[in-house]
Chain A
């Protein structure tokens, strides 16, 4: 006889995912954090810089990671804002009412917008740290955070079997249960790379994406995908409530879920390595301070501090020496993990998204 528990677990699940998460910190013991003590004179200044990020735990990690030390060392006051996104930058620049000096976006959203007009300032690379790899630099932005879109699953769902890649995600016989995947809702680009890898395309032969092949692969799992999610909280809630047994997630969100005691795990293999980037909206009032902040935040120690606060990786090669080995096990930038991930090609998407997204939507509704 089943015990009757009226939605208690569901309610608890919602609570733990939604409310408890900010209190159970997936961050690393504070004592081990490195401290930035000096900065080049070129980064010093006065006044303020208004920085748009995502709020929540990300903002907490950034405050401890580099907002506080930047204020102290540069003399420039930091004013953080939540809710960064490209449509708002477009609206601000077009109306001439630019309320942010820096915004956390991505190479994709920055270049996508820049393609249609002049919306961003060029980055002043003369003050950016040498440790920041060439691959993270582009004309109108600087990538400043590595994260991964990976496979996550309920460890109690498959009787001990462990899914290790997208072929397993597609295999609903061996790994029964519903799925959730990233959709096009919140301005996102669908995970065509994942559909192709599930169909056997090797990770190094993904681009240029074969869209028709990806859609054919998607078709095999379509009826099992109960949600095409658009924000990172959704897959976490679906896993917590046991609505799905497997989903794609943003890796940083999983740490809070695991800390809350939900039996769930990440499989890094074949995950997509993505990057966030700072962009400086055209006409930002404190443009110079913004440049200084962008340069400071990508230095080795500030980058390492963020990685200790939230499990996202650094773009500065010198950060690794400040990050303890135990922490490296959960960072997408750690060499052992990074080599399992696929470097996401924003440029392909910028060039092709206009044709690809309607095609995906059409497939979804057919």
Chain B
């Protein structure tokens, strides 16, 4: 233990370290995270700050980019589209993901297989997966050709290049982020509670409603939060499979960068970042979510 905790000479300059050295055991946790902290500070936090600064001081110190937001109809609509899409996708992930998480926890021999099936798409690039959805959802893709062959439709439906396509593809990409925290919470439930419930005469449904569901809420909260915040930042998928009006906030930011309106792009980025941070901060105070944060620390 003490060997691992030796401070790295690269990470912390010696002068700053001296008082730390005196009772260094107390600072072991800090020393362990110091290399990553410095890495993130230099290569992530500072560039992000420099970028955000552009929203305030380009061309001179001004709040005009932020006041412009209030009159910008395009921003308002884009923000609404982004938010709306994230809500739908998160709900879709929850409805599809919860049963899978239960299956994953209950399965004995099949569990590793289920886990691989869940994680497999996780290891494939978003670009490739979006292309795959184009092949599946296209007017002459697998789904349309299949429904035609079965006689369920008489002409190909437009699925690709619609909001529905965006939602389907995003749910697919984000499902693991919902399933894994829920499965984690389900796994923590003491099996003797379930035996006690049925011993006291509860039907399987009552056991689910009154025991499993409440005890898994921390996982649901963590999964929902993670999925929602990630969904807010989607760019490639809606651009590739989405409809003509599916402009997300990230796409608008990219467009402003390309149109050389960098100050406004920075302003929009600040709004996106603040929204994500705001949701995370607000969610901490929700019952159950605090647990989820603590749970993920274990």
Tell me the A residues contacting B by CB distance below 8 Å: 2, 4-7, 9-11, 14, 85-87, 90, 112-113, 116, 178, 184-188, 222, 225-228, 230, 237, 241-243, 353, 357-358, 361-362, 364-366
| Inter-chain contact A365/B251, CB cutoff 8 Å | no
Task: Enumerate chain A residues within 8 angstroms of B77, measured Cβ to Cβ.
Answer: 365-366
**Bound-state Cα–Cα, A85 to B254, Å:** 13
Q: Which residues of B contact A362 (CB under 8 A)?
A: 73-74
In the complex where A112-B260, A226-B243, A365-B77 touch, is A7 in contact with B138 (Cβ < 8 A)?
A: yes
Say whether chain B's binding surface is mostly helix, strand, loop, or mixed: helix
Determine the chain A residues whose CB is within 8 A of the CB of B247 once the complex forms.
361, 364-365
The 8 Å CB contact of A87, one of B134, B136, B161, B258, is B258
**Would you call A10 and B131 a contact (CB within 8 A)?**
no
Most buried by A among B158, B251, B258: B258
Contact across chains for A365 and B78 when beta carbons are under 8 A apart = yes
Does the CB pair A226–B161 fall under 8 Å?
yes
* Distance to closest chain B CB from A330 (angstroms): 28
Closest 10 CB pairs of A and B: A187-B258, A4-B149, A7-B142, A365-B77, A226-B161, A361-B74, A7-B141, A10-B141, A10-B138, A10-B135
A4-B244 contact in complex given A185-B255, A243-B139, A358-B74, C-beta closer than 8 Å: no
Q: Chain B contacts of A86 at CB under 8 A?
A: 260
Give the Cβ gap from B154 to chain A, nearest Cβ, in Å: 10
User: Apart from A6-B145, A226-B243, A364-B247, what 16 extra A-B contacts exist at CB < 8 Å?
Assistant: A10-B134, A86-B260, A87-B257, A87-B258, A87-B262, A90-B262, A112-B260, A185-B255, A186-B255, A187-B255, A226-B158, A230-B239, A237-B134, A358-B72, A364-B244, A365-B74
Does B217 sit at the interface, judged by CB under 8 A?
no
Q: A4's closest neighbor in chain B, by CB?
A: B149
From residue A191, how far is it (CB to closest CB) to chain B in Å?
A: 14
User: Interface SS of chain A: helix, strand, loop or mixed?
Assistant: mixed
Does B140 belong to the interface (CB within 8 Å)? yes
Contact B145 A7 (CB under 8 A): yes
A222 to B247 alpha-carbon distance, docked (Å) = 15
| A6 x B260 contact (CB < 8 A) | no
Query: With A364-B244, A364-B245, A365-B74 given, is the CB distance from A7 to B136 under 8 Å?
Result: yes
Give A227's nearest chain B residue, CB to CB: B161
Q: How long is the Cα–Cα vector from A115 to B254 in the complex, in angstroms?
A: 21
27 contacts between A and B (CB under 8 A): A2-B149, A4-B145, A4-B149, A5-B145, A6-B142, A6-B146, A7-B136, A7-B138, A7-B140, A11-B135, A14-B131, A87-B262, A90-B260, A185-B258, A186-B258, A187-B260, A226-B244, A227-B244, A237-B134, A241-B140, A243-B139, A243-B160, A358-B72, A358-B74, A362-B74, A365-B245, A366-B77
Q: Shortest distance in angstroms between B220's beta carbon and chain A's nearest beta carbon?
A: 33
The answer, yes or no, to whether B148 is at the interface (CB within 8 Å) is yes
Residue of A nearest to B74 (CB): A361
> Do B244 and A228 touch (CB < 8 A)?
yes
The residue of chain A having its C-beta at the shortest distance from the C-beta of B154 within the complex is A2
Complex CA distance for A9 and B175, rounded to whole angstroms = 29
Asked whether, in the complex, the Cβ of B145 is within 8 Å of the Cβ of A87, the reply is no
Are A4 and B146 touching (Cβ within 8 A)?
yes
Count residues of B near A (Cβ-Cβ below 8 Å).
35
* Chain A residues with CB under 8 A of B243: 226
B192 contacts the other chain (CB 8 A): no
Q: Would you call A185 and B145 a contact (CB within 8 A)?
A: no
**Residue B140 contacts which of A9, A90, A226, A353 (CB distance < 8 angstroms)?**
A9
B23 at the A interface (CB under 8 A): no
Question: In the assembly, what is the distance between CA of A87 and CA of B253, in Å?
Answer: 13
**Could you tell me the distance in whole angstroms from the C-beta of B175 to the nearest C-beta in chain A?**
22
Given the complex of chains A and B, what is the CA–CA distance between A99 and B31 in angstroms?
38
Contacts of B257 in A (CB 8 A): 87, 187
A357–B161 CB distance below 8 A? no
Residues of B within 8 A of A230 (CB): 239
* Contact between chains at B138 and A241 (CB < 8 Å): yes
Contact with A along B135-169 (1 / 0, CB 8 A): 11011111001101100000000101100000000
CB pair B239 A185 closer than 8 Å: yes
Task: List residues 75-130 of chain B with CB under 8 A from any CB of chain A.
Answer: 77-78, 81
The smallest beta-carbon distance between B156 and chain A, in angstroms, is 9
For B138, what are the chain A residues with a Cβ–Cβ distance below 8 Å? 7, 10, 241, 243
Given known A-B contacts A2-B149, A185-B255, A242 and B140 have beta carbons under 8 A apart: yes
Query: CA–CA, A365 to B77, complex, Å?
Result: 7
B259 within 8 A of A: yes
What is the distance, in angstroms, from B60's C-beta to the closest C-beta of chain A? 14
Q: How far is the CA of A314 from the CA of B50 in the complex (A)?
A: 43
Look across to chain B and name the residue whose beta carbon is closest to the beta carbon of A359: B74
Docked CA distance A178–B138 (Å): 13
Q: Is the CB of A85 within 8 A of B258?
A: yes
Are B260 and A87 in contact, with the CB atoms below 8 A? yes
A243 touching B161 by the CB < 8 A rule?
Answer: yes
Residue of B nearest to A185 (CB): B255
**What residues of chain B lie closer than 8 Å to A6, measured between beta carbons?**
142, 145-146
Q: Nearest Cβ distance between residue B135 and chain A, in whole angstroms?
A: 5
The minimal Cβ–Cβ distance linking B49 to chain A, given in whole angstroms, is 16
- Contacts A178-B158, A185-B239, A365-B245; A14 near B259 (Cβ below 8 A): no
A-facing residues in B234-275 (Cβ within 8 Å): 239, 243-245, 247, 251, 254-255, 257-260, 262
Q: How far is the CA of A85 from the CA of B135 in the complex (A)?
A: 30
